[in-house]
Structure 1
């Protein structure tokens, strides 16, 4: 039995889609109704990291688990790992971040991910770590500006990032969940080239066949934008991450996707072609397009 957490998120949903539908896959969600709507052929169970009995129910009979946590102010990883050990889970595949390898990265989010990795290594279970660079799908945050004013606004627009298609991260996760030989491995996952926000804007303009303008944000403007959706410590962590990107810390390209899956990592152009409708039509009231 394979358990997938974070199944309604960017990578988790692609992991579920990549696994064989049926009784051997289970999805854990705080909102089972939402997960059931997305994955009607997969069993969904209610589970919350802060609710030990729900974790025990979700993990019953599970041998391999995909672990996604998103709250740096919580001990969700520790709670899940403890419950997994009690339930007899054999291996945990953990979604981490490439920044953990950067000695200069000392922000809140990176420190939290490093601690989670250390916890998993020491827990006695088999483990596999996935360390993606930024997701190409982060550019979806530009969609409203492109639709309303043909403008992309971002911080440090000429700084390169070897961003990765979330589908490629998910495919590596599926391999780690379903195959032997991945225990004790840490996979750094990137796209095939490092791109700047200016270059991504240019690519989107070509695909949309419209002229797009890039507008550089100041640090204060970026802080104000982020503050609308993130608590202050997370905002400062994201700004520190952007500063490291400006210094070139995120430009290294790895061939891990091809090595693990046998297929080259997708380019930003491929990702954008598959999601171009998001930049041309607004979501409806249900959040779908």
Structure 2
């Protein structure tokens, strides 16, 4: 039995989709009804890291587990590992982050991820660590402004990151969950090249067949936009992360995806080509009004121009 936590998230749902049909799969979610688009054979269980009884039910009979935690600074990793160890789980594959390898990175998020990794190494079970760079899907944060204004706004538009397709992360996770030879391994996962937000904007524009503008956010504008989505301590950690990217800390490309899966990591162009519908600009015909969602977006975003940032 393979247990997938975070099955409604960006990577978790891709892991569920890619697991072989012959593998028994259980997914854990606070609200199992939100786990959609999966095979009827997939077992859904309600589970919460803060509820030991629900965790015990989720890990019962499980051989390998995919662990995703998102409560920065919390003890969800420790709670899950404790329950998994008691239940006899053999291996845990944890979604971490590439920043843990950069010892100049001392922000809240990176410290929390390092602590989670250290806990897993000492847990007595087999473990595998997945350390991705920023997800290509983070660019979906630009979708509304691309659709409505044909504009991308981001902080430090010429700083590069070797961003990775979440599907590639999921493919490596599936190998680690279902194959031998991955225990005790830590995999740094990147795309095939380092890209800037300006470069991503250009590629999106070519794929869409429209001219997209890029507008650089100031640090204060980026902070204001992030504060609409995250707690202040997390926002400061994200801004510190952006500064490290600006200094070149995230541009290194690794061949790990190819080494594990046997095929090259997918490009941003390939990922974007499969998600163009999210970015397709609204067409304003002569004599018609811009769709209401675009009007609302423009009214809320333009005064301070802080509507979007990468959030990485």
TM-score (norm 2): 0.89
- 1:194 maps to 194
Distance in 2, Cα, partners of 1:154 & 1:169:
24
- 2:116 maps to 116
> Displacement, 1:181?
0.3
Please state if 1:204 is matched with 2:233: no
Distance in 2, Cα, partners of 1:48 & 1:106:
29
Distance in 2, Cα, partners of 1:177 & 1:157:
37
What CA deviation, in whole Å up to 9, does each residue of 1:61-98 have, x standing for no partner? 00100000001132000000000000000000000000
Structure 1's unaligned 5+ residue stretches are none
TM-score (norm 1): 0.96
- 1:241 maps to 241
- 1:250 maps to 250
Distance in 1, Cα, partners of 2:38 & 2:266:
25
- 1:8 maps to 8
Structure 2's unaligned 5+ residue stretches are 283-292, 294-312
| C-alpha contact 2:146 2:281 (8 A) present in aligned 1 | no
SS of the residue 2:195 aligns to: coil
SS of the residue 1:243 aligns to: helix
> Displacement, 1:39?
1.7
Distance in 1, Cα, partners of 2:278 & 2:53:
39
> Displacement, 1:40?
4.2
Please state if 1:156 is matched with 2:156: yes
> Displacement, 1:23?
6.7
Instruction: Map 1:220-239 to 2 at 5 A.
Output: 220-239=220-239
Of 193-202 and 14-23, the range deviating more from structure 2: 14-23
Distance in 2, Cα, partners of 1:22 & 1:30:
26
What CA deviation, in whole Å up to 9, does each residue of 1:27-84 have, x standing for no partner? 000011111x332421100000000000000111001000000011320000000000
SS of the residue 1:66 aligns to: strand
Distance in 1, Cα, partners of 2:69 & 2:249:
24
Distance in 2, Cα, partners of 1:202 & 1:280:
14
- 1:141 maps to 141
| C-alpha contact 1:67 1:93 (8 A) present in aligned 2 | yes
| C-alpha contact 1:23 1:43 (8 A) present in aligned 2 | no
Distance in 2, Cα, partners of 1:262 & 1:32:
33
Distance in 1, Cα, partners of 2:235 & 2:138:
16
State the number of aligned residues: 282
> Displacement, 1:202?
0.2
What CA deviation, in whole Å up to 9, does each residue of 1:235-261 have, x standing for no partner? 000000000000000000000000000
- 2:38 maps to 39
- 2:26 maps to 26
SS of the residue 2:180 aligns to: coil
Distance in 1, Cα, partners of 2:82 & 2:55:
10
Distance in 1, Cα, partners of 2:108 & 2:281:
35
| C-alpha contact 1:63 1:90 (8 A) present in aligned 2 | yes
- 2:172 maps to 172
Larger C-alpha radius of gyration, 1 or 2? 2
- 1:278 maps to 278
SS of the residue 1:191 aligns to: coil
